[in-house]
Amino acid sequence: MRIQPAKMMSTLPTQFFSTLVAKVNKVIAQGHDVINLGQGNPDMPTPPHIVEELQAQAANPLHHKYPPFQGRIELKRAVAHWYKQEFDVDLDPEEEVAILFGSKTGLVEICQVLMDPGDVALVPDPGYPDYWSGVSVVGGRMVMMPLLAENKFLPDYTKLKQEDLDRAKLMFLNYPNNPTAVTAPYEFYQETIEFAKKNEIVVCSDFAYGAISFDGKKPVSFMQLPGAKEVGVEFYTLSKTYNMAGWRVGAMVGNRELVRLINEIQDHYFVSLFGAVQMAAARAMTDSQDCVRDLVGIYEGRRNRFFSELDRIGWQATPSQGSFFAWLPVPKPYTSTELSDLLIEKAHVVVAPGVGFGPSGEGYVRVGLLTNEDRLGEAVERINKLGIFTKS
């Protein structure tokens, strides 16, 4: 019997980073000590009080049954509590919060509930590749919004063609940004809301790194803006804030009709998350946030050490404003892939080539600050020995 896949399967974007992983595994297999800074996977454990809550809740027979289809009210209230405490945003837990299997799932689902084949999604370039996946699954078309250094890595809405705006159903934004590591100002979101209203485009704010910013500055949540709920939603995940990437817990908040639609499609996919995981997540969001402040302090220390070491060897780059990434310009005459390959093969240091995040990512590499400060310093020293940079 010949298996004939659906046509949609052939339209899915190529997984660029699987190629990178294969290169890394080859070098590791050769016995080399590899410093892997190409990943986006938190390297520290989930705080103990959250793990203990999961262990206690797992013993409760209540959670061995199917949970409520649309998630436990305790977790929805916890999400609303967190938004109020951190950003002074009021949310109705029942109608303005949807529980997700990690925010990645919701980013695909929002395309499914809004887009028909041929509809347009406005996508940041460079940006998180799973935006592409969601658009591809529904047969939509992406229109890239270049994020350029001269515009502080914010999209310029005046550069978009009206014919594309007429077909656009939604737009993805992501600040603090992966991969450029910048934050967005309040005024940018004001402009975004006006733009969205004028063109009837749903704003999808990916706030995955919303707890991680530096130099005493708090990132802006899209939900803080008057009118945000009218035009869009925000996706949040516990993966980065609490080192819970493997737990797969996220939420979408904001516009009531969009929350209803996400809940409706998830009714056909899932019976929500394991109840014990939901209760542990609720504990994470409502208990003391000292663990988050400690985590951000660790990332800021890593950032400071890393950029200090870069400056020492002559690699000029702008320090990260948020997230746990660094976005570094590629020296001539290399492309981002060529530099990435060189660093893997000669220095045994892994970075992610910027082109993997979109055409406008060419000319940069992304570094994950996901190992200790001394290891980051060692990575820079290995690069220094290649003689690519000259300290002026």
123-172 residue pLDDT tens:
999 999 889 999 999 999 999 999 999 999 999 999 999 999 999 999 99
**Token pair of 322 as six digits:** 């948020």
149-159: pLDDT as tens digits? 999 999 999 99
263-311: pLDDT as tens digits? 999 999 988 999 999 999 999 999 999 999 999 999 999 999 999 999 9
The verdict on whether omega for the bond into residue 126 sits within 30 degrees of 0, i.e. cis, is: yes
Assign 279 to helix, strand or coil. helix
| Domain ranges within the chain, ordered by starting residue | 7-45+291-384, 48-286
CATH fold group of domain 48-286: Aspartate Aminotransferase; domain 2 (3.40.640)
Q: Band the pLDDT of 7: cuts 50, 70, 90.
A: confident
**391 pLDDT higher than 80:** no
Assign 151 to helix, strand or coil. helix
Distance (Å, whole) CA 323 – CA 184: 12
Distance (Å, whole) CA 33 – CA 322: 29
**12 pLDDT higher than 90:** no
Q: What percent of the chain has pLDDT over 90?
A: 89
**321 pLDDT higher than 70:** yes
Q: Dihedral of CA 22/27/32/38: which sign? A: negative
Q: Dihedral of CA 51/55/61/65: which sign? A: positive
The yes/no answer on whether domain 7-45+291-384 falls in CATH 3.90.1150.10 is: yes
Distance (Å, whole) CA 392 – CA 386: 17
pLDDT at 51: 98
**What's the whole-number average pLDDT of the chain?**
95
Average pLDDT, integer, range 239-262: 97
Q: Where are the alpha helices (DSSP H) in 322-363?
A: 336-342
Find out whether 41 and 239 touch, Cβ atoms under 8 Å. Answer: no
Q: Dihedral of CA 334/336/337/343: which sign? A: positive
**Token pair of 256 as six digits:** 């009531």
Q: Nearest Cα to 328, choosing from 49, 72, 38, 76?
A: 38
Across 247-285, b (16+ Cβ under 10 Å) vs e yields bbbbbbbbbeebbebbbeebeeebebbbbbbbbbbbbbb
Bridge pairing between strands 325-329 and 250-254: unpaired
pLDDT at 392: 62
223-247: pLDDT as tens digits? 999 999 999 999 999 999 999 999 9
203-226: pLDDT as tens digits? 999 999 999 999 999 999 999 999
pLDDT at 8: 86
pLDDT at 328: 98
**57 pLDDT higher than 70:** yes
Assign 40 to helix, strand or coil. coil
